[in-house]
Chains A and B, each alone.
Chain A
């Protein structure tokens, strides 16, 4: 029904409905209170309307995140659809905020909504961008860290879309490992 409605309005329906979340670090509040659902969309046109309306990630203040997840999955590793999963992590150097951050994030969003991971697109849960003074991060979250074939396929396609050189490697961490260790100490499960 939703698909027919989108087409009748001359819009291009997406395979999934997506939810954009915004996180703003306010230390006077608990973590969950700082996380807000911005909106949901399910057509290409509504994605662009939203994207054009919100601030570029590079203009956000430190401590803020954007997350884009499939409708029904909350942007936290505790969600039942995330907790057995993990993330491909892109760690950026400080100067890349001005040169590559917005482009990487847009490419990430296009990969998600365009379902560009072939047979493994169902493995994708969402993506998160963290704006941090010490270095920004972008992560693509998948649902099953044990699905080596799916995870590595997604990683290869993702890396290609970001335009990363073959000399650069990106790593995948299971949320279960990240949750028990602090950031950079989490072990890397796969590399592409």
Chain B
């Protein structure tokens, strides 16, 4: 249970940033 919490919390901390990097790249490519 503890590992699951830490795993989810870690994803919540880092994944938005990673996803954002992809989204920004995609938006830039679309604009170009």
A-B complex is real: no
